[in-house]
Amino acid sequence: MKYVKWIFVVLLICSLTAFVEKDKPTGGLSEGDVAPDFKIESTSEEQPAFKLGNLKGKYVLLSFWASYDAQSRMQNVSLSNALRSSHNVEMVSISFDEYQSIFKETVRKDQIVTPTCFVETEGEDSGLFKKYRLNRGFTNYLLDGNGVIIAKNISASDLSAYVKEIG
């Protein structure tokens, strides 16, 4: 009987710590921070290199993801779909896949139609990954016209509400 109580206590503590771990923030930048400017090269010759600073004055959704991370990939697709009919928010989708072929196939399969969809082939070792401090998982940021983060890890439904609001 003595051991049963201890086993119960250990199980209780384990379940509580597991719950706390899930609620930890993913790291990275926070609402109110100014998103760091960056430049990223395109994978196609028709598309020029992209510089975040060129979108000053516009709302921008930065979506960081990778094809090997199912949660970030699904989030990227739902955000892309939420913005299909919007002209108020520019989506910039950046994958951290190390192989362009995997990136291109994922974009094709997921039907991502943003003209500003890029791949950072240095993956998690890239300067951009480090600049945005994505060390604890992928995320997305909604930026206002001044490049200030007004929402982090926004869902597709919340994004749709923002689009209507600024519309």
DSSP string for 97-141: -S-HHHHHHHHHHHT---S-EEE-TTGGGSHHHHHTT-TT---EE
Q: Are 128 and 51 in contact (CB under 8 A)?
A: no
Beta bridge partners of 34: 148
For the question of whether the overall pTM of this predicted structure is more than 0.75, the answer is: yes
pLDDT digits (tens, 9 = 90+) for 93-147: 999 999 999 999 999 999 887 788 999 999 989 999 999 999 777 999 999 999 9
Q: Are 129 and 96 in contact (CB under 8 A)?
A: yes
Task: Identify the residue whose tokens are 């609402």.
Answer: 31
| Nearest alpha-carbon partner for 134 in 28, 23, 24, 22 | 28
Would you say residue 45 has pLDDT above 50?
yes
